[in-house]
């Protein structure tokens, strides 16, 4: 026993074979490779007293953000405790056990904090770094998406087989903190080490999205489909990024084809973590005035089958409400809101979900229902007030941009010319190469009764950027 991991950390209950399987599994987990659960199950069967494979599998269940899979994570922990007293495990393993117990118990932020402190003492413990990074994403801890990795990365070097994992995490953290060029450069460094790193691909895609580089984004994503689109559990989300670029370039048919091919199709698992990408794309199309009911209707029905009666992760609730409204089922959308109201009325249960629901989830879902009911002024007022703290319920800037787009659409539809102009001005200033932003700026200028030459210039800029984006996408 007492094998060491690839970074030299000793685990007293690990055998050489168990460690080899775990090391393979944690790499597959970090790169979202499809065989990961088979590998971890093999590691557990080979070496049941070694905690790390159990923890990796429990984290995979928790990533699903649903009560059913959270219960499975708890069962995995019970299974480990059935074969060994966790007090006999290493300090690293005991920290992971405590983090998982906290997450299963509903305190995601405490779990993230436990792994944060673990990283101070063990900066080269790769699963704690990578899973903690994921926790920061779910918990909306934007600064720590970058700084957790920054605190640990100087203990690594390119000779380490897992260094690319660390670089990919840093790339996404840089992007979420507005360092877009550095994110692109760091993500490409990660991909040079491991071309099939779907998380690094996604970080680079985010850097293009935030800069409005739609043509470059399409070319990058479609040019690398061999690296991320097959045998990868993250493929659906990267197809979503591809569709966002297509949507902003004006290629609506292309975005819908991507939806049908890679985001939501017959073989796709009907679970929250995959369905929210489908909802997010269709909602953008819906608020832009496109009829997506033929796709959103079935998606709405699928949400009814998975959304728990007691809210578990309000980021999911928002996407369920989006699907219901886009699919024309306002009763179902109202039910999402009503169950959240009942949950809050029952009192604080000590979970992050309760706080997230109160602070962001319930107001957002009310605003979505208001949009669907044509109460555009109410929708706009709610979303405008939430902008400063919407990150608290998780997700990325690109994902939460659905709220900003809804806010702008509500201002336009509600005739709030000054608000629409200001919001559209913000978009063209922050991402000046995005054709969608210029199109909406033109709409806002027209609503705000700007001089016609200025409106025409904005529309021409949108057309020019669409043409540029399509040319770059074909290059």
**Residue 154's closest CA among 115, 111, 120, 180?**
120
Q: Check: CB of residue 122 under 8 Å from CB of residue 92.
A: yes
Show pLDDT as tens, one digit a residue, over the chain (475 residues): 689 999 999 999 999 999 999 999 999 999 999 999 999 999 999 999 999 999 999 999 999 999 999 999 999 999 999 999 999 999 999 999 999 999 999 999 999 999 999 999 999 999 999 999 999 999 999 999 999 999 999 999 999 999 999 999 999 999 999 999 999 999 999 999 999 999 999 999 999 999 999 999 999 999 999 999 999 999 999 999 999 999 999 999 999 999 999 999 988 888 999 999 999 999 999 999 999 999 999 999 999 999 999 999 999 999 999 999 999 999 999 999 999 999 999 999 999 999 999 999 999 999 999 999 999 999 999 999 999 999 999 999 999 999 999 999 999 999 999 999 999 999 999 999 999 999 999 999 999 999 999 999 999 999 999 999 999 998 7
The bridge status of strand 3-4 relative to strand 10-11 is antiparallel
Residue 421 tokens, joined: 């102009």
pLDDT at 1: 62
pLDDT at 268: 84
Could you write out the DSSP letters of every residue in 137-167?
Answer: HHHT-HHHHHHHHHHHHTT--TTSTTHHHHH
What is the per-residue burial (b if ≥16 Cβ within 10 Å, else e) of 45-72? ebbbbbbbbbbbbbbbbbbbbbeebbeb
pLDDT at 267: 83
Q: Is 365 exposed, middle or buried (0-12, 13-18, 19+ CB in 10 A)?
A: buried
Q: Check: CB of residue 455 under 8 Å from CB of residue 472.
A: no
Taking the C-alpha atoms of residue 89 and residue 11, their distance in angstroms, rounded to an integer, is 8
Q: Check: CB of residue 21 under 8 Å from CB of residue 42.
A: yes
Taking the C-alpha atoms of residue 65 and residue 155, their distance in angstroms, rounded to an integer, is 31
Residue 224 tokens, joined: 């690398």
Could you write out the DSSP letters of every residue in 274-286?
Answer: HHHHHHHHHHHHH
Q: Check: CB of residue 293 under 8 Å from CB of residue 339.
A: no
Residue 173 tokens, joined: 């953290």
What is the per-residue burial (b if ≥16 Cβ within 10 Å, else e) of 160-196? bebbbbbbbbbbbbbbbbebbebbbebbbbbbebbeb
Q: Which residues, at least 6 apart from 53, have a Cβ–Cβ distance to it below 8 Å?
A: 18, 21, 22, 25, 40, 43, 44, 47
Q: Longest Cα pair distance anywhere in the chain, in angstroms?
A: 78
Handedness of CA 135, 273, 327, 331 (dihedral sign): negative
**Residue 99's closest CA among 110, 86, 87, 88?**
110
Taking the C-alpha atoms of residue 384 and residue 65, their distance in angstroms, rounded to an integer, is 27
Handedness of CA 226, 232, 236, 241 (dihedral sign): negative
Q: Check: CB of residue 410 under 8 Å from CB of residue 379.
A: yes
Taking the C-alpha atoms of residue 450 and residue 399, their distance in angstroms, rounded to an integer, is 31
Residue 277 tokens, joined: 């990408």
Q: How far is CA 286 from CA 76, 331, 344, 368, in A?
A: 41, 18, 29, 11
Taking the C-alpha atoms of residue 403 and residue 234, their distance in angstroms, rounded to an integer, is 23
């Amino acid at each position: 026993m007492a094998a060491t991991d690839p970074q030299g950390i000793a685990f007293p209950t690990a055998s050489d074979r168990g460690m080899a399987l775990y090391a393979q599994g944690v790499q597959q987990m970090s790169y979202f490779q499809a065989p990961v659960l088979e590998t971890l199950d093999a590691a557990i069967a080979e070496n049941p007293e070694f905690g790390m494979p159990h923890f990796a599998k429990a984290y995979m269940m928790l990533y699903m953000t649903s009560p059913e899979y959270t219960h499975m994570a708890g069962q995995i922990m019970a299974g480990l405790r059935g074969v060994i007293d966790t007090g006999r495990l290493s300090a690293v393993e005991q920290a992971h056990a405590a983090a998982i117990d906290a997450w299963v118990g509903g305190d995601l932020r405490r779990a993230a904090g436990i792994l944060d402190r673990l990283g101070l003492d063990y900066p080269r413990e790769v699963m704690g770094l990578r899973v903690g990074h994921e926790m920061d994403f779910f918990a909306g801890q934007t600064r720590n998406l970058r700084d957790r990795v920054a605190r640990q990365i100087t203990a690594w070097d390119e000779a380490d087989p897992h260094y690319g994992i660390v670089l990919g995490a840093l790339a996404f953290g840089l992007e979420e903190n507005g360092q877009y060029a550095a994110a692109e450069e760091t993500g490409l460094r990660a991909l040079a080490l491991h071309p099939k790193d779907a998380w690094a691909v996604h970080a680079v895609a985010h850097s293009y999205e935030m800069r409005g580089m739609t043509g470059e984004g399409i070319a990058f994503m479609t040019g690398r489909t061999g690296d991320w689109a097959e045998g990868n559990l993250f493929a659906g989300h990267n197809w979503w990024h591809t569709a966002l670029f297509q949507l902003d370039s004006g290629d609506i048919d292309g975005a819908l084809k991507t939806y049908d091919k890679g985001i939501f199709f017959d073989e796709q698992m009907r679970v929250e973590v995959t369905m929210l990408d489908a909802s997010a794309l269709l909602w953008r199309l819906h608020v832009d005035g496109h009829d997506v009911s033929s796709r959103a209707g079935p998606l709405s029905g699928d949400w009814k089958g998975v959304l728990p009666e007691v809210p578990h992760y309000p980021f999911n609730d928002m996407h369920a409400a989006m699907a219901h409204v886009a699919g024309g089922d306002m009763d179902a959308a109202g039910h999402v809101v009503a169950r959240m109201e009942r949950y809050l009325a029952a009192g604080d249960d000590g979970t992050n979900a309760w706080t997230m629901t109160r602070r962001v989830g319930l107001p957002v879902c009310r605003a979505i229902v208001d949009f669907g009911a044509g109460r555009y002024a109410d929708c706009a007022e709610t979303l405008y007030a939430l902008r400063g703290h919407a990150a608290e319920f998780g997700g990325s800037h690109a994902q939460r941009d659905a709220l900003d787009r809804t806010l702008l659409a509500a201002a336009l539809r509600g005739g709030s010319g000054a608000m629409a102009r200001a919001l559209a001005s913000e978009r063209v200033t922050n991402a000046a190469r995005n054709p969608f932003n210029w199109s909406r700026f033109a709409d806002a200028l027209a609503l705000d009764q700007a001089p016609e030459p200025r409106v025409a210039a904005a529309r021409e800029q949108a057309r020019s950027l669409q043409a540029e984006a399509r040319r770059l996408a074909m290059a």
